[in-house]
Amino acid sequence: MFTFSVIVVCLLSYVAGSIPSGFLVAKRLANVDLRTVGSGSTGATNVLRVCGKGPAFFVMVFDIVKGIIPVAGAIYLDKHLMASPMSQWHLLAPLSAICLLIGHSRSLFLQFKGGKSAATALGTLIALNTWTAAVVFGTWILLVATVRIVSVASLVAALLAPIAMYLFDGYASYIAYCLAGTLAIFYLHRANIVRLRQRTEPTVGKMQKCNTGG
């Protein structure tokens, strides 16, 4: 029963993470395949780049929520598996979070392509440790407002996540998840890092909106 529960949680988390909200929004509003325009990502930043602020905000919120719900469910379930090593080490929620990030970046519905997982990662942090999420999101907002480069904000916020989780007394497994998530987000942003080094990464104000009339 325990093993079955873990498998179900991981599969459901992967499927939830795979829901390609950005792809669906851009396809519906502009008949655009996000994988072929802008950065090629299906996340909120590319939606902002090609479809504008309103659709991008919707996608960001959706991706955050899809990170919260499965992890919150895993935490609830974890409390009912107290006799298992998984619960003693608080591993079920981090496993759910990892599967969510994999699903978002390697979507089952998009031939295993997807976004860069920053918003979904934030959702998982909200479920795991609200104070950590507040620090990470606050840093992201501050940097977007000042530096005006979303990738910079995402990378710095990712670096802060394991530090904040440690400072706010997160479980060791949660800290390990944050470390793994930071590495994953840096890997998924590798093209952005190249553009940052070349000083060609676009700022928020220079992102072009596509025609959403058709």
Per residue in 101-147, pLDDT (tens digit) is: 999 999 999 999 999 888 999 999 999 999 999 999 999 999 999 99
Does 107 fall in a domain? yes
Does 212 fall in a domain? no
User: Is 100 in contact with 120 (CB distance < 8 Å)?
Assistant: yes
Helix pair 53-78, 21-30: axis angle to 10 deg: 150
Does 33 fall in a domain? yes
Does 214 fall in a domain? no
Share of the chain above pLDDT 70, in %: 92
Domain tally for the chain?
1
pTM for this model (two decimals): 0.88
Does 108 fall in a domain? yes
Does 213 fall in a domain? no
Residue 19 structural domain: 2-206
Average pLDDT over residues 185-192: 91
**How many alpha carbons lie under 13 Å from residue 26 in its C-beta half-sphere?**
29
User: Is 106 in contact with 112 (CB distance < 8 Å)?
Assistant: yes
**How many alpha carbons lie under 13 Å from residue 141 in its C-beta half-sphere?**
8
Per residue in 36-54, pLDDT (tens digit) is: 987 788 999 899 888 999 9
Instruction: Return mean pLDDT, the chain.
Output: 90
Does 82 fall in a domain? yes
Does 124 fall in a domain? yes
Handedness of CA 182, 137, 116, 13 (dihedral sign): positive
